[in-house]
Amino acid sequence: MKENNVLTGARAAHEYVHFFRDPIRCMRELQQKYGSLVALGPIAFGEPTKLHVLAIGPEFNRQVLGDPAKFRTTGQFIHGPNNSAQRRIRFGLTRMNGPQHKQQRQLILPPFHKRAVAGYHDLTVELAQEVIGQWKPGRRDVYADMRAVTLRIASAVLFGHEATDAYRIGHLLEVWARRNFSGPVWFFPVNIPGTPYHRLLKHAELVEQETLKLIEKRRRDPSDRTDVLSILIQARDDENRGMTDMELVGQATILFGASFETTASTLTWTVFLLAQHPNITRWRERMRALPSWNKVHEVFDSALVAPNKGKDFVRV
């Protein structure tokens, strides 16, 4: 990496602030200025101690994602102090490496088998209709609406249909994820009462406590449930080992983050683009009348038949 491509001091501070305000624009502008490889270094007094490297392009993607022995994943959320709830609940699949990653990935597969995924269909439709049925005509915040729909569905699919349990934990996780990417938390990670960082750590303790309570409740009543958490509790690897309670907490946290934020953003942009192209409704009706329409569904179904196929395409 060229020396000029390592930003420090005021230049690094400016880009850190820019990143938290508008990450996509920040990364695009850094690439335009410095090329496909650029790093943000220390701002003052040697902090932060580690470089944050932006590597763009298929070749860098291949290196980083295809060589786990050299590039070890550390997760996306704030680390938190040693032996803290913050550190424990963020320890899911995206933070694991080597044999542990392989074993946990095997345990996580059952909720995503074709039969399990098909079982979420009716519940997803029911919850989406329930939330959408509460909307009133007029000007609406699409992003807020899509987050509400996705939060309701993600909570129920992951933790069960009982709103008192599932939605409460889903809401706690949604707040926790948002606080993890708060600028004040990153720029002033000091654990003293009153700071955003301290509030994040206390909130992580609440997330851990509530999730552990639900896990205990599910273990006491191992009935024929289809939510992801219940399936994970029953999952066993080739040596008949299951997940510990803390492994379940970590995996549930990561799965919620993966299912909620990405889906809410995707739905928001989908609705936005559909609003820009009202003729899409007529196009859809024409496509449904085509003989090839059923073939489209066959292609999607075939992708769910064998969950082991292509599982190494990405590390998760």
pLDDT-derived band at 292, boundaries 50, 70, 90: low
Does residue 136 sit in the same domain as residue 42?
no
Number of domains making up the chain: 2
pLDDT of residue 305: 43
pLDDT exceeds cutoff 60 at 3: yes
pLDDT of residue 172: 92
74 part of a folded domain = no
In the chain, the amino acid numbered 283 is: W
Cβ count near 105 (within 10 Å): 16
Residue-wise pLDDT for 155-173, tens only, equals 999 998 776 788 889 999 9
pLDDT of residue 278: 73
pLDDT-derived band at 227, boundaries 50, 70, 90: confident
pLDDT-derived band at 281, boundaries 50, 70, 90: low
311 part of a folded domain = no
Range(s) of the domain holding residue 193 = 85-305
What is the distance of C-alpha 239 from the center of its chain?
29
CB 148 within 8 A of CB 270: no
Q: Which residue, among 70, 102, 14, has the nearest Cα to 311 in the 3D structure? A: 102
pLDDT of residue 312: 38
Does residue 101 sit in the same domain as residue 233?
yes
pLDDT of residue 291: 64
Q: Which of 37-51, 154-168, 186-200, 268-282 has the highest mean pLDDT?
A: 186-200
301 part of a folded domain = yes
312 part of a folded domain = no
What is the average pLDDT across 39-51?
82
pLDDT of residue 222: 72
Q: Which residue, among 232, 227, 189, has the nearest Cα to 86 in the 3D structure? A: 189
Does residue 264 sit in the same domain as residue 174?
yes
CB 170 within 8 A of CB 159: yes
Residues 6+ apart with CB under 8 A from 188: 195, 196, 197
Does residue 92 sit in the same domain as residue 212?
yes
Residue-wise pLDDT for 126-139, tens only, equals 988 888 888 888 88
Out of 96-100, 152-156, 196-200, least confident range: 96-100
